[in-house]
Structure 1
Amino acid sequence: MARVLIAGATGAVGQEVLRLALADSQVERVVAPTRRALSPHPRLENPLVDYASLSGSEPWWEVDAVICTLGTTIGKAGSQEAFRRVDRDYPLAVARHALMHGARSYALNSSVGADAGSKTFYLRTKGEVERDLDALGYCSYTIVRPSVIWGERQEVRLGESLAIFALTALRPVVPRRYRVVPAVRIAKALLDRALAGVPGRKVLESEQL
């Protein structure tokens, strides 16, 4: 039985990870720190937090596995600096705190094309967080790199909605790597890898989902 921490449980992928984890007999307890309260569940611990203020001394960091689905857009964040804070700094802080308390497995929802050497700010940031998480030394580290995600979101992302429409219409001629990926499929891959805790670093590209 595992204790799993989900960072980003209110997003499209995070909601699916939470649902799957609470239904999984391998999961003893789910810790989901969020800014607003989630629906209660007997096996859910839901500390209300500000990710910018986490100290690492909170008792709920004592978990076996971490699944991180934190992410935003530059438009919503308001600046590149704010975007980096959510997509790079917070996942790293979560990883450090959980590792310090004994976590052995970390699964990250990243992006197709993530590359620390990219000229594109978004892809470079995603690549940087992948690289920096790898350096922390988790026993098991999984990176999932989906293309455009289809799923239920709290907010409307116009650009993403248009991309989903176009990619769905053109699906027969779109390379598998760039096809729309259902959020539940990404969530299942993240949860399965986090619970399995297979030693080493594993990258799952979009076409493998």
Structure 2
Amino acid sequence: MKVLIFGATGMVGQGVLRECLLDQDIERVVTVGRNATGQQNPKLAEIVHQDLFDLSSIEAELTGLDACFFCLGVSSFRMSEADYTHLTYDLTFAVGRTLSRLNPGMTFSYVTGAGTDTTERGRSMWARVKGRTENALLRMPFKAAYMYRPGMIQPMDGIRSKTAVYQVAISVLRPLFPVMRRAFPNAITTTSQLGRAMIAVAKERAASRVLETRDITRY
């Protein structure tokens, strides 16, 4: 299997990349982002590309791929709805539209979040925008598209969040994670579990197109 990862330098993306490089069924991993991951692996090809809204100059490198793991995301904290929509819905839509044209047999996996609102009418701004994004992806002509809605994510294997406030919270909670995961198994997952789930579903497909934390932790 040949896979593409967007957002491989973020906390979630780092976990997905690690699991892809470890998986023997994945022969090639292509990453696209504004910065290189710094990883070295024979099956890894990195594309550093600044304008992710326009992939026309790198389209030749984005064909012949079986799966895309879209892990890009920004915090909505102190962000206007217009700006958050642009960096969430508009960007994901642009990438999805290009990839569905280049790889109609591709499985597209998108990381959203617990509480995403697919009615697009709820009070929570981020949930409305994420819901609109999910709805748009599910309408695109991919072989299949899956939405992942993790709740709290525990970073594993030395992975850190690039969002300072999240990393502070993770550092404070780290000693409590084992207890929290036992007490709330349907609310907390890990970067490694999420990565393994996305890979497994891309290989075998899943009964539901939306996977909540309880579904992710089964892998």
Please classify the TM superposition score into its range, dividing by the shorter chain length.
Answer: 0.7 to 0.9
How big is each residue's C-alpha offset from its partner over 1:18-77, in whole Å with a ceiling of 9 and x where there is no partner? 11111212112111011112223221111111213322752121111111111110237x
Q: Does the aligned pair in 1 maintain the 2:154–2:170 contact within 8 Å? A: no
**1:53 and 2:60 correspond:** no
- Indicate yes or no: 2:211 matched with 1:204: yes
2:97 aligned partner: 96
The one of 150, 153, 164 aligned to 2:161: 153
Give 3-state SS (helix, strand or coil) of 2:16's partner: helix
Please, which of 194, 199, 203 is the counterpart of residue 195 of structure 1? 203
The DSSP-based 3-state class of the residue aligned with 1:30 is strand
Q: Which runs of 4+ in 1 moved over 4 A?
A: 166-170, 172-176
* TM-score computed with the length of structure 1 as normaliser: 0.84
CA distance in 1, matches of 2:150, 2:188: 8
1:169 Cα deviation after fit: 9.2
Q: Would the alpha carbon gap of residues 73 and 199 (structure 1) be closer, same or farther in structure 2, given more than 3 Å must change?
A: closer
Change (3 A) 1:170 1:13: same
Give the structure 2 partner of residue 143 of structure 1.
Answer: 147
Give the corresponding residue for 1:110. 112
Identify which range, 162-171 or 79-88, moves more after superposition: 162-171
**Any idea what the Cα deviations from partners look like across 1:86-111, whole Å, max 9, x if unmatched?**
32222222222111112421111111
**Which residue number in structure 1 is paired with residue 138 of structure 2?**
134
Residue 130 of structure 1, CA deviation: 0.8
Worse-matched range after superposition: 146-155 or 54-63: 54-63
What's the secondary structure of 1:15's corresponding residue?
Answer: helix
The Cα shift of 1:174 comes to 6.2
Partner of 1:52, secondary structure, is coil
Which residue matches 2:70? Answer: 68
CA RMSD of aligned residues (A): 2.8
Q: What runs of 5+ residues in structure 2 fail to find an aligned partner?
A: none
| Residue pair 1:67, 1:194 contacting (<8 A) in 2 also | no
TM-score normalized by structure 2? 0.81
Gaps of 5+ in 1: none
Q: Structure 2: which amino acid aligns with 1:48?
A: V
**Aligned residues, how many?**
205
Query: 1:123-142: per-residue Cα shift (whole Å, max 9, x none)?
Result: 11111111100110322221
